[in-house]
Amino acid sequence: MSASRTLLFTTLLASLAALVPGPASAAAGCGVAQGKAVFETPEVQVYPRRAKLVACVRATGRARVVGVRSNDGGIGWSTVDRVIAGRWLLVHTSYTFAESPDAADDTLIDLRTGGSASLSHGGDAGPDGQVAALPGVLVVTGGDAKGVQARFTTGRIERLSAVADATGLAAASSRVYWREPVGGQADPRTASYAFTGLPGASAERTAPLAAKIGRCVPKRRARLVLHDDTRVVTRTATDLLLCTRTTGLQRRVGPAGTKLVALSATALAYTRDGVAGALALSSSARAEMPAPAGAVALDGTIAAAAADGLRVASVAAPLPKLLTPELVSDVALGVVPADAVALSTVPVAYWRGADGIDRSVELR
């Protein structure tokens, strides 16, 4: 690890244990005005302060440094990926230096205790890695990991596989999947590990009233569901709405009972009344299919199991496709290299069959 990156990374880790005072808000319990935040849900608000990224937990009003935004000796820039179970924050930090290779860290932070688990990859830390986050544990491969490891925010580390070039990490409830190459065989082996005793989710909080964010002006008495650097999701008495911060353009996702599954850089995934859907952010493309037991999503791809099998659809290919007619469980989506050069990736779907065997298929 280069000296400049070591300085940035040491500063970040030291800051994770520190609580910083945040301005109080009678409505939200902590934080700053919504328009000054870079990420927000009913549970947490994340905002920049000087060269740090700070997260404020609404339930307690406590603020904690969770990342960096610095150009001192190099550029360290942290962004929030998502909140897991209302308590754990997944943060990606990229490092750019003039005289050494770029690098990155993915860190899972327990907002209640300050404990964290990280993967360093790129640069001196080794090849690009992958992570899958579950409550209290970050499953990692590549980078500074040896094989597939479970790194807990309590500091404990478990090796799940010794295979160094495993790919396609994906989480489904308390199970994590990956693929391992098998010598002399074209198809990789699908592997998984089921965790027991993981912490439960935090209690759901009432969403705060939405304020103006960028050019997004909320509807009367709309509640904030989520917002990040580019998009704002709100809920009114009748609709779930998506707005682009830079233009103020607002789109209807579905009726008020529609639940947000995931928001990525390319698509918003949702469920409502036994249906799963994905809405493209840059076009009017939309995919929907039956999902009586819920769905999982990755960018613009959705997967859902039903009594008559497992189906997938995407904003690029909206017609649902049957992957298997069998009854399945623990469905997940990940990504794997598209070819040996690994310049691009393709989605991969995982599931556990009724026979207890783990299976996967690339969605090309």
DSSP track, 33-52: -GGG-SEE-SSEEEEEETTE
Of 8-12, 141-145, 198-202, 331-335, the poorest mean pLDDT is in: 8-12
The pLDDT of residue 15 is above 50: no
DSSP reduced 3-state for 232: strand
Question: pLDDT for 93-136, tens place per residue?
Answer: 998 877 777 889 999 999 999 999 999 987 766 668 899 999 99
134 is written with which tokens?
A: 């579950």
And the tokens for 355? 């026979």
Residue 230 has pLDDT above 60, yes or no: yes
Cα–Cα distance for residue pair 245/256, rounded to 1 Å: 21
pTM of structure = 0.90
Mean pLDDT for the stretch of residues 294-309: 95
Q: Residue 13 has what pLDDT?
A: 45
On the question of pLDDT at 303 being above 90, the answer is yes
DSSP 261-301: EEE-SSEEEEEETTEEEEEESSSS-EEEEE-TT--EEETTE
H/E segment holding residue 15: helix 3-16
What does the chain come to in residues? 364
Contact 233, 82 (CB under 8 A): no
Q: Is 5 helix (H, G, I), strand (E, B) or coil?
A: helix
Phi, psi of 207 (to 5 degrees): -65, 140
Q: What is the pLDDT of residues 254-286, one digit of tens each?
A: 999 999 999 999 999 999 999 999 999 999 999
- Kindly report the average pLDDT of the chain as a whole number: 89
Q: Is the pLDDT of residue 233 over 80?
A: yes
For residues 303-322, average pLDDT: 96
> Which two tokens mark 35?
């328009």
pLDDT of residue 101: 79
Give residue limits of the domains in the chain: 3-194, 209-246, 258-362
pLDDT of residue 125: 61
Q: How far apart are CA 80 and CA 111, in angstroms?
A: 13
What pLDDT shows up at residue 342?
Answer: 63
pLDDT digits (tens, 9 = 90+) for 66-89: 999 987 666 899 999 999 999 999
CA-to-CA separations, 47 to 90, 215, 249, 295, 336, in angstroms, rounded: 15, 18, 23, 30, 32
32/190 Cα distance (integer angstroms): 45
Give the single-character DSSP code of 74.
S
pLDDT category, 29, cuts 50, 70, 90?
low
